[in-house]
Amino acid sequence: MSYDNDNIFAKILRDEIPSFKVYEDDYTLAFMDIMPQADGHTLVIPKFQAETLLDIPADELTHTMTTVQKVMSALKSTLGVEGVVLLQLNGTAAGQTVPHLHFHLIPEHLTKLSGHGAAMGDMEKIKALAEKISEAL
């Protein structure tokens, strides 16, 4: 499958559009979802150009999951939550809207989540949460 280099997360990786970053290393980036399904909703993406989970080599995936683990730990310690939903969609048929592999970390009970990509969040609140989470990373 051909990767769309103009998708919104590719633009975030190239700093062509702004994002609330909480963590970055050579292989991955973590930033706040601007249409959060709960407070602290964070996205982790590989820098590797993969559209779905089927398009990434195992070593790159290992780096990505290591960041998922770090961010989950930071969400738990900074927000004082007990549970984090890990969500990952593959293909438009599953509801994937951005064609760059990403992992949603949503610190809330599954039954209490707001709609997926349903409404823009409060940017001041998201910025404040990003600062808090990034301090722990």
* Footprint of ligand AMP (CB under 6 A): 8, 19, 33-35, 89, 95-98, 116-117
Of 122, 98, 134, 123, nearest in space to 23 by CA: 134
Contact 60, 48 (CB under 8 A): yes
Q: What are the DSSP E strand ranges found in the chain?
A: 21-24, 28-32, 42-46, 85-87, 103-106
Residues 6+ apart with CB under 8 A from 114: 36, 37, 38
Q: C-beta of 11: minimal distance to ligand AMP in Å?
A: 8
**Active-site entry in 41, 100, 102, 104:** 102
Q: Which is nearer to ligand AMP, 8 or 81 (CB)?
A: 8
Which is closer to ligand AMP, CB of 59 or CB of 119?
119
Reference 46, options 36, 37, 33, 58; nearest CA is: 58
Tell me if residue 102 is catalytic: yes
Minimal distance, residue 61 CB to ligand AMP, in Å: 17
CB 117 → ligand AMP: shortest distance, Å? 4
Q: Which residues are catalytic?
A: 102
